[in-house]
Amino acid sequence: MLAKRIIPCLDVKGGRVVKGVNFVGLRDAGDPVESAQRYSEGGADEITFLDITASHEERRNLFDLVDRAASTIAVPLTVGGGVRERQDVNELLHAGADKVSINSAAVADPSFVGEMAEAYGSQAIVVAIDAKRVPDVEGRWTVYTHGGRRDTGLDAIAWAKQVADLGAGEILLTSMDRDGTRDGYDLVLTRAVVDAVPIPVVASGGVGTLEHVYEGLASAGADAALAASIFHDGHYTVAEVKRYLLGQGVCVRPPEAD
Amino acid sequence: MTTGRVAIVDLGLGNLHSVAKAFERAGAKPVLSADPEVLLSADRLVMPGQGAFKECSHALAGEVGEAVRAWIDSGRPYLGICLGMQALFESSEEAPGEPGLGIFPGSVRRFSVDLRDESGVRLKVPHIGWNQIASTHPVFEDGAWYYFVHSYYCVPKDEALVVATTDYGGRFCSAIARDNVLACQFHPEKSQHAGVRVIGHFLGDVSWS
């Protein structure tokens, strides 16, 4: 049976972790590769780097970082943030990313998704959707781009279906309402997208407790749970999350030390 | 460990970075090449695979394919990964009419569009993520979890080739072995410690052959 995946996400800028990772004994809390390695050793099923670099010069650091990470960790690596054109996708995959996540560029030109899936295979192309509830309208979310600053007016569910049709291999779904709140995933949104598309959905935004991870996977039906701060702050290890999920009857790949 | 020289077949179809790195981590110094001379002078041959069967079939139509065939005939250790497993068979539903290497009789089929688990829940295709194998073969670990990314799977005519199976809406063949040939549908290079051990066994004393 296919396991639900647990994916720690690291925000990086200029090749460094933006928010320090609170691991005991980490030599360099700012080095994404060292953190990624710790997470993969602890049972992470995949690692995601989200690059929030603004300048073109700093992008070079990202490619170096991806190259180092791919040489070090032996689990799949997804890289997103600032992916605008084919060259970006090509360079990231060439540097060793297994999947590249596309957000604003997909909204700006949906055919970009299809072209990249055609060129590199659907398995390599993730579309990241940042969705926010429309106030006072039940069950409606719109897609935001540019780091959550711009409301595109696109219906999030319809957009999810569209990118799946275009050839995206996976959807990384972030609730803008929940991101950073520690109130848990937006389960209604997640369930709506899971039911709408035939491709895997990664839930993101809002995890604060073990129960939240369970709800995202079991109640909302997400294929994978992405989380950042609960891991970085040292609240929980990946192994603790997995042991909890196993105890709740969720199929996950057990931490190897077990 | 006597790793010898490891050659990785580069069909120009995708990123071989992670496969090469995984072999480096296991202590080998792999060479990536499409040059038959280079490939045939190695001690171990690895054919990874990402991409589509059609392009793979075309890439193997010439001298590289002949080199792989000659290699397998020579009795030296071969490891096929994903498409490098599928290419050993005669044909694939992914590209009707395009031949595989035909080392073994059999074909490659797509998961059903209406694939469901035991409780009737619809399963997604591609099959992406970590899944378990059942195996009694010494290179693989029964019950271990490996990373899969694929929509197609091998159906050997000779069932005795199958040395591991995995459940995804029913059991499919996730690894084969015969003499010097070993091949798996999953990606050892992405499968953490379990994958590293597969590579280690392949680089080891070849007691599996």
pLDDT per position as a tens digit, B53-80: 998 999 999 999 999 999 999 999 999 9
| Sign of torsion over alpha carbons A235, A239, A245, A250 | positive
pLDDT per position as a tens digit, B7-52: 999 988 777 888 998 999 888 999 999 999 999 999 999 999 777 8
- Look up the ipTM and state it: 0.90
Mutate to test the interface with A, among B116, B130, B167 (most CBs of A within 10 A): B130
Q: What is the pTM of this model?
A: 0.93
Strand-pair partners of B156: B106
> Which residue among B18, B126, B194 sits closest to A96, beta carbon to beta carbon?
B18
Q: Which among A11, A151, A183, A223 is annotated as catalytic?
A: A11
DSSP B170: S
pLDDT per position as a tens digit, A112-126: 999 999 888 888 999
Q: Is the pLDDT of residue A258 over 50?
A: no
A chain contacts of residue B168, beta-carbon cutoff 8 Å? 1-2
Name the residue among B160, B27, B29, B6 with its Cα closest to residue B81. B6
A chain contacts of residue B124, beta-carbon cutoff 8 Å? 198-200, 223
B chain contacts of residue A121, beta-carbon cutoff 8 Å? 14, 50-52
- Catalytic, B137? Answer no
**Which pLDDT value is given to residue B205?**
64
Query: Is B17 near chain A, with CB under 8 Å?
Result: yes
**Residue keyed to tokens 């599928």:** B86
Q: Is the pLDDT of residue A204 over 80?
A: yes
Within chain A, where are the H helices? 32-41, 56-72, 86-95, 104-108, 111-120, 156-166, 187-196, 210-214, 229-232, 238-247
- Fill in the amino acid letter for B119: S
Residue A247, number of CB atoms within 10 A of its CB: 10
Do you know the residue count of chain B? 209
Each as own residue / partner, the long-range contacts of residues A179-184 (CB below 8 Å, 24 or more positions apart, any chain) are: A179/A148, A179/A204, A179/A205, A179/A206, A180/A205, A180/A206, A180/A229, A181/A206, A181/A208, A182/A206, A182/A207, A182/A208, A182/A209, A182/A229, A182/A230, A183/A208, A184/A208, A184/A209, A184/A211, A184/A212, A184/A215, A184/A216
Query: Is B185 near chain A, with CB under 8 Å?
Result: no
Q: Is the pLDDT of residue A183 over 90?
A: yes
- Catalytic, B189? Answer yes
CA distance linking residue A201 with residue A223, whole number of Å: 5
A3 to B50: CB separation less than 8 angstroms, yes or no:
no
pLDDT per position as a tens digit, A227-252: 998 998 888 999 999 999 999 999 99
Which tokens sit at B20?
A: 């090469």
DSSP A3: P
pLDDT per position as a tens digit, B73-94: 999 999 999 999 999 999 999 9
Do you know the residue count of chain A? 258
Strand-pair partners of A15: none
CA distance linking residue A173 with residue A225, whole number of Å: 10
A71 to B21: CB separation less than 8 angstroms, yes or no:
yes
